[in-house]
Structure 1
Amino acid sequence: MQIDPKQPTTKNPPEMFAGDVWLDPIAAPREPGQTMTVAMVRFTPGARTAWHSHAKGQTLHVTDGVALVGTRDGRVVELHPGQTLYTPPGEEHWHGATPDDFTAHLAMLDNAQDPATTTTWLEHVADDEYHRP
């Protein structure tokens, strides 16, 4: 058994996020063959990721507030605490808070063999993409 010390909260970089987004690491691979990474991510109202995809997919579990997730086909879904969303490998998407609500979610993903390719970051989400009904 091992108890890890709390890691510091970090602010996510503006190259990949719009608005204030904070990350608390929870779990990272420890043993050979393990690949799972887990983090608590908190978004202020209106904050969101840039477009991105994950080599092995991503699971988001909303813990607080109201979250939005958008896909390239123009769909934007709203998620509430207790709901879980999975984006498959390679699916370009964004996620964040609504304009009026904070949100927090657990982000869970498996690292790719080359960690630099785990997440592919793309352009920022345009305001009209974010504000779609």
Structure 2
Amino acid sequence: MHITRSRPDTRPGPAEHFTGTVWLDEIAAPEAPSRLRVFSVHFAPGARTAWHRHPHGQVLYVTEGEGVVQREGGAVEPIRAGDTVWIEPSETHWHGAGPRTFMTHLAVVEADEDGTTADWGPLVDAGTYLNCP
């Protein structure tokens, strides 16, 4: 057993992967052989990820606020505090806050053999985002 009493500092989401103001807190990144990674991600209203996919899928658990998620070819879906979203391995998607609300979620992923947790694509354009419910 290992108890972590301090964490890395909160860091901003990089502009090449996020639109708007996003903050990332690393919750867990155990040493090998574990490949688990857990982040708390805080989105300001209108903030969102770029299109991306995860080699082993992703679980999102919304802890506060309201947001949206969309898989490639699907509708933009609302998500709220208490919702859990399972994103299939290699399913291209994006997620973020609603246009008028903050949203925080826990993001749980498993790194690939080379340490990759996400393959990033283009930023989500305003037209796609403005189709939010």
Shorter-chain TM range is over 0.9
CA distance in 1, matches of 2:53, 2:81: 23
Tell me the residue number matched to 1:91: 91
Alpha-carbon RMSD: 1.1
Are 1:29 and 2:20 an aligned pair?
A: no
Which secondary structure does the structure 1 equivalent of 2:37 belong to?
A: strand
CA apart distance, 1:24: 0.6
CA apart distance, 1:71: 1.5
Partners of 1:67 and 1:96 within 8 A in 2: yes
CA distance in 2, matches of 1:2, 1:125: 38
Amino acid at match of 2:102: F
Within 5 A, what are the aligned runs for 1:7-46?
Answer: 7-30=8-31, 32-46=32-46
CA apart distance, 1:5: 1.0
Shift of the 7–73 alpha-carbon distance from structure 1 to 2, 3 Å rule, reads: same
Amino acid at match of 1:125: V
Tell me the residue number matched to 2:101: 101
CA apart distance, 1:62: 0.1
Q: What percentage of aligned pairs have identical amino acids?
A: 42
Superposition TM-score, scaled by structure 1 size? 0.93
Which secondary structure does the structure 1 equivalent of 2:38 belong to?
A: strand
CA distance in 2, matches of 1:3, 1:70: 34
Which secondary structure does the structure 1 equivalent of 2:119 belong to?
A: strand
CA distance in 2, matches of 1:57, 1:2: 26
Structure 1 residue runs of 4 or more that deviate by more than 4 Å after TM superposition: none
Partners of 1:70 and 1:130 within 8 A in 2: no
In structure 1, list runs of 5 or more residues that go unmatched.
Answer: none
Tell me the residue number matched to 2:123: 124
CA distance in 1, matches of 2:107, 2:26: 10
Deviations 1:86-123 (A, max 9, x none): 101110000000110000000000010011x3210000
Shift of the 4–130 alpha-carbon distance from structure 1 to 2, 3 Å rule, reads: same
In structure 2, list runs of 5 or more residues that go unmatched.
Answer: none
Partners of 1:74 and 1:129 within 8 A in 2: no
Superposition TM-score, scaled by structure 2 size? 0.93
Partners of 1:47 and 1:96 within 8 A in 2: yes
Which secondary structure does the structure 1 equivalent of 2:127 belong to?
A: helix
